[in-house]
Structure 1
Amino acid sequence: MERMIIFCMLFFCSSTALTAAPHKIAKYKQLLKTIDRLEPIVKDKDVELLHTPENPVDECLFTAVTCFQKGTLKLQPESSQVNSTFTQTIKALKRFTFNNSGKQCESSCESYEKKTPREFLKSFAKLIQKVIGHTRADGYGKSTI
């Protein structure tokens, strides 16, 4: 009887672990779609340039995502006609959460070069693609990111 209970517990735990990585990947892919939706409707001229993390090292991924989230709050819609879509998209980006790996990062948001809003969003998309790659490589949801 004890063996049967242990077997059932192991089966449950392993099946839970197998579904964790695909769920995270789906969440990140949805975030990519959100960024793609935002890019053509964001104002790109006569606006504040934004600190844009590019190719951060693994221990700085959390800091980079945080910089992007703060930067999205400074984005503006290209016109009043896209304002509702813009607002909904920004809300979706603000709700996105990202786990801190616990590793210490030496750089801050201000250390990154400032770029236009569209370049900023392209770099954000590249970062999320990198996170997806790490999540797949780590397997079974044991992402260090």
Structure 2
Amino acid sequence: MLALLLFAFNDLSGKWSTLQDSPTFPTLFCMFATGSLCFGGWWLKDHARASDGKGSAQAASPRWSEGRTFLIGMGVGITNAVGMVLILHAFELGKAGLVSAVVALNVLIVLLYTRFVVKDRFSGLELSGMSMAFVGIIMMRIFS
């Protein structure tokens, strides 16, 4: 529920920034600085917990090195930055609800990746969520 509210806040603030004719670079800087601080704090908390011996055995012996984590994180961050530029331009041209719904399809892409690459099975809740997202996009396209 918290993720739902934060994603909604992110989309609404993105739309608001385009309505206010905010420059793209400072808007993106604020978005990514906030995200970096949140995830950096989370990482520091997990790192401190693992070094104190309070974390799980998996946290004490990570599967990835910190260097690999950083490189993969940079790749994900760069693609996220490109996506956010495209989203801000979409907010300039379209309705916030429609843009947010199309952007929300990235969850579908991640779930399909986990199914076909990672080989995870979908739960009933995940299947129903994917179906509702897909039907919602089709309905918005038909009725717009």
Q: What TM-score range do you get, normalising by the shorter chain?
A: under 0.3
Higher relative contact order (CA 8 A, sep 6+): 1
More helix as a share of residues: 2
TM-score by length of structure 2 reads 0.27
